[in-house]
Amino acid sequence: MTATTATTPATTTARSARLMGAILALVLLADALDVIDATVTNIAAPTIARDLHGGVGLIKWLGTAYMLAMGVLLVVGGRLGDKYGQRRLFLIGIAGFGVASAVAGLSPDPTLLIAARVAQGAFGALLTPQGMAIMVKTFSPELLTKAFALFGPVLGMASVAGPVLAGFIISADLFGLSWRPIFLINVVLGGVGLVVAARILPRDDGDRSVVVDGWGSGLLAATMFGLLYGLIEGSTNGWSVLPIASIVAGVLFFGAFAYRQRTAAHPLVAPSLLRNKGFTSGMIVGLVVFAATTGLIYVLSLFMQEGLHTGPRDTSLALVPLTLGIIASAFAAMGGLVAKLGRTLVFIGLGVVLLGCGWILALVATSGTSVSLWALAPALSVTGVGLGLCYSTIYNVALGEASPEEAGSASGSISSIQQLAAGIGSAAVTSVFFQAATSGFGHAMKVSLIVTLIVTALSIPVVTLMPRKAAAEPQE
């Protein structure tokens, strides 16, 4: 009896450590699924469009639909977790994500596939905010710090794995299914995650007093859909009454959304943040840079496949230097550079992006569709370094003057802006690319690069309005 009693604390500690490790692995799986699904269509889009006869419109919507739903609903997903319990929302999110992935993988036509991508983004927005909240509630401060340190490497690897996985799966043509396994694999991963989550996640009832601004979220969704549908429809099928009316409606809905944020008792964005010049300028810079560069990465893949006639696998490998550049410089920035340099590092990052994009432009202008992937690799790597410095720095600096009470709303707003910017960029830059492609894919790539250079350069003066120093601690 004595021996049993003596070993109980050690046994309990070991079980607790295993449980915390399992929760961390589950949360990392959920976040990795989001990153992978946001990037797989960068490579798969041309193959999917040819198989389903979806044309240019399908290519434009594949990434946009997912990121639009995710961006609009992220803040709401976090609030719903607070209200009804993080465990419940995590289970709903991962189950729904798996079902939506199955529908995407089995879709016989473009319409159902785009609807499934919207559903993936919506359930992903319910899923991803819960993991961090669960960890904050259940992990000790020391363990939480160690856990946060794993997110960068794991999600960095996921950002590489998404396109590479898509390229290899499509090239392998598993069971004659072509692109479909890139979505169907989520059914297996999501199913495993659902079973594990049901067993290990702590139960919580939530706080029914939490208020969710459904009107604000609906108006934001209507705004984004109106603007993006008008842009994509107009650039694809001509500027008739429908796309123009859609854009006008989007602008009107945005006015209603802005009014709602000023008057709602519990708005999606804290009013004090909107009055914070440093934060709002950082959001503007982030929106512009994320939109321009996310769209650029997408059209680089299209250029390689459609213009250089490179297969999906080789295209995914050709983009690895860019992704590795992003990961390496992001780690360097978060390792201490952002704390030392603050907004100066944003200036440096934007400068390196301009250098890299200018280098790619020079190569394409000289060689057109005869440019080799080996020649592009160094320029892509430099561009990636600049992007990594921007991605890891802009929002940390934007939070430099936010109060602790505003941190939650600010972090949620940042996550939503990132997703919305990615959706806007995918739609806008691909629209530019295909409009210019009537004169050849080499010309289309040059025009897309010039637009990216101009838009990125225009964001530089706004950086001077951002806080000089980053937030004292990285906001998760």
Q: What is the pLDDT of residue 455?
A: 92
Distance between first and last Cα of the chain:
46
pTM, rounded to two decimals: 0.82
3-state secondary structure of 209: coil
Question: Tens digit of pLDDT for each residue in 244-291?
Answer: 999 999 999 999 988 888 888 778 777 777 777 888 888 888 888 888
Helix/strand/coil (H, E, C) string of 156-198? HHHHHHHHHHHHHHHHHCHHHCCCCHHHHHHHHHHHHHHHHHH
Q: Are 131 and 26 in contact (CB under 8 A)?
A: yes
Q: Are 363 and 379 in contact (CB under 8 A)?
A: yes
Range 24-30 average pLDDT: 88
Segment (H or E) for 466: none
Best mean pLDDT range from 10-24, 120-134, 273-287, 403-417: 120-134
The set of residues, in sequence order, having a beta carbon less than 8 Å from that of 152 and lying 6+ positions away, is 330, 331, 334
Long-range contacts of 134-140 (CB under 8 A, 24+ apart): 134/23, 134/27, 134/86, 134/87, 134/90, 134/201, 134/202, 135/23, 135/24, 135/27, 137/86, 137/202, 137/204, 138/20, 138/23, 138/202, 139/20, 139/23
Tokens read off for 417: 């802006």
Q: What is the pLDDT of residue 17?
A: 75
Tokens read off for 316: 């995914």
More confident residue, 356 or 15: 356
Tokens read off for 200: 């290990």
Task: Compute CA distances 12 → 7, 16, 107, whole Å.
Answer: 9, 6, 48
Task: Compute CA distances 387 → 164, 297, 452, 464, 476, whole Å.
Answer: 19, 11, 13, 19, 20
Q: Are 22 and 196 in contact (CB under 8 A)?
A: yes
DSSP 465: T
Q: Decide: residue 148, CB within 10 A, 0-12 exposed, 13-18 middle, 19+ buried.
A: middle
Range 282-303 average pLDDT: 88
Please choose, from the candidates 341, 346, 369, 334, the residue with its C-alpha nearest in 3D space to the C-alpha of residue 476.
334
Question: Tens digit of pLDDT for each residue in 217-251?
Answer: 888 889 988 888 888 888 877 888 998 999 999 99
Range 87-99 average pLDDT: 94
Q: What is the pLDDT of residue 9?
A: 54
Question: Tens digit of pLDDT for each residue in 128-146?
Answer: 888 878 887 888 777 776 7
Q: What is the pLDDT of residue 412?
A: 66
Share of the chain above pLDDT 70, in %: 91
88-92, 99-103, 262-266: least confident range: 262-266
More confident residue, 162 or 373: 373
In this predicted structure, the answer to whether residue 403 has a pLDDT above a threshold of 70 is no
Is the domain 11-209 a CATH 1.10.510.10 member? no
Name the CATH superfamily for 270-476. Answer: MFS general substrate transporter like domains (1.20.1250.20)
As a whole number of angstroms, the distance between CA 30 and CA 90 comes to: 9
Q: What is the pLDDT of residue 410?
A: 67
